[in-house]
Amino acid sequence: MKINRHVLDNGLRLIHTQDQSTQMVALNVLYDVGARDEHPDHTGFAHLFEHLMFGGSLHIPDYDTPLQLAGGENNAWTNNDITNYYLTVPRQNAEIGFWLESDRMLSLNFSERSLDIQRGVVMEEFKQRCLNQPYGDVGHILRPLAYQVHPYQYPTIGKELAHIANATLDEVKEFFFCFYAPNNAILSVTGNISFEKAISLTEKWFASIPRREVIRRKLQQEPQQTEERRLTVERNVPLDALFIAYHMCDHHHPDYYAFDILSDLLSNGCSSRLNQRLVHKKQLFSNIDAYISGSVDAGLFHICGKPSPGISLEQAEAAVYEELEHLQQEFVEDYELEKVKNKFESTQIFGNINYLNVATNLAWFELLNKAEDMEQEVARYRSVTAEHLQRVARDTFKKENRVVLFYNRTENK
């Protein structure tokens, strides 16, 4: 893959690669702002902007209609680290994408009406996802149990509904002009468009947007956890549930790939250890999963599951620890490790066939370090050894490094 780079005078980074096998073009705009950048008393703002950015910009009152008329589609997502916007459009209409994205980077059409509409949408999403859905409040319980000082302690959707309900237009404007800036963004362009054309359109539509004084993070680093933290809650849910999390390294650490492989060994696919041993063989769980948070800063290694009828949370918890002890005491067999690596490699290869996936990945890896690292991911996973996995398991799966949440089912009276 030939990856090209161009930086505008205002700081916007353009990352490009051409794919002539498609007649489409993808634009992905990554803003280096997420929930971890929010004030503790004003959480949920990054997610609110995911919605506000579609509510009309300075010169374009309706974002969706021009794109749809041009045969395009769009969407966005937010997490604790970034806010990501993307669109696809037929190659002959590519300039429409540059026009739309540049105008809302310049400024939104801030109004009380737009804020009221999008605030209502976000508040309804908060209620549906976190208040009115079984297990919806797990993130609001587990995160502050694991993080004492780092802003990962609150979910992307916000810590409290009131933070969004009470958001003012002035606060929203301040957040936008602090973070939504060309010098705080990465534009990745892929599909059937030449590098020269991408530069020309980027300069035409984005070069006049002024640099802004972006607030630099001064995040408190989470201190090392020294004792187990436990909590039990009771909720009107269909089944009991167990949630366990261990602190792990950040995304830049060499151990990150070992953690990802360990999570796949435990639960990626029907042949994984937890599914084979605890679901099918011992029938202790109806379902169980293991995954990593994938965050830029030091994250969490999660294990969660719902015990089978008649199995207590204590029994289920003990069974999980027994499986983790196997990883600490025994080397992973070559065939099992190779299976996980092969699965990751095939996922990477097939995923990067799609020009939109490539656009998203280029922006993400450029944020982490440089876009070219995307093509080194398979080699980095391939380099992880059984000895490496055992060492990481021994260092991590310790009682003093874990948080445990018992989510008990209660009858609705």
For residues 178 and 214, the answer to whether their CB atoms sit within 8 Å is yes
Q: Judge whether residue 266 has pLDDT over 90.
A: yes
- How large is the average pLDDT for residues 204-232? 93
Reading the block at residue 243, the tokens are: 């949630």
pLDDT digits (tens, 9 = 90+) for 373-410: 999 999 999 999 999 999 999 999 999 999 999 999 98
pLDDT digits (tens, 9 = 90+) for 37-63: 998 988 999 999 888 888 889 899 999
Instruction: Give the C-alpha separation, 159 to 163, whole Å.
Output: 7
Instruction: Give the C-alpha separation, 265 to 289, whole Å.
Output: 11
pLDDT reported for residue 413: 41
Q: Which residues contact 299 (CB under 8 A, 6 or more apart)?
A: 152, 247, 248, 249, 250, 251, 292, 293
Q: 84 falls in which pLDDT band (50, 70, 90)? A: very high
- How large is the average pLDDT for residues 211-238? 92
pLDDT digits (tens, 9 = 90+) for 292-344: 999 999 999 999 999 999 999 999 999 999 999 999 999 999 999 999 999 99
The whole-chain average pLDDT of the chain stands at: 95
97: left (phi over 0), alpha (psi -120 to 50) or beta: alpha
Instruction: Give the C-alpha separation, 392 to 156, whole Å.
Output: 28
Distances 92 to 20, 70, 192, 194 between C-alpha atoms, Å: 13, 9, 9, 12
pLDDT digits (tens, 9 = 90+) for 116-148: 999 999 999 999 999 999 999 999 999 999 999
Reading the block at residue 397, the tokens are: 């799966």
For residues 73 and 30, the answer to whether their CB atoms sit within 8 Å is no
Q: Judge whether residue 412 has pLDDT over 80.
A: no
Share of the chain above pLDDT 70, in %: 99
Question: CATH 3.30.830.10 occupies which residues in the chain?
Answer: 3-207, 229-409
User: What's the CATH code, domain 3-207?
Assistant: 3.30.830.10
Q: Judge whether residue 151 has pLDDT over 80.
A: yes
pLDDT reported for residue 56: 85
- How large is the average pLDDT for residues 235-252? 96
pLDDT reported for residue 312: 96
Instruction: State which H helix or E strand residue 172 sits in.
Output: helix 169-179
Distances 310 to 40, 60, 314, 315, 318 between C-alpha atoms, Å: 41, 59, 11, 10, 15
pLDDT digits (tens, 9 = 90+) for 208-221: 999 999 988 788 88
For residues 390 and 353, the answer to whether their CB atoms sit within 8 Å is no
Q: Which amino acid is at 369?
A: N
- How large is the average pLDDT for residues 357-382? 96
User: Collapsing DSSP states into helix, strand and coil, what is residue 343?
Assistant: helix
Domain spanning 229-409: which superfamily?
A: Metalloenzyme, LuxS/M16 peptidase-like (3.30.830.10)
Instruction: Give the C-alpha separation, 382 to 375, whole Å.
Output: 13
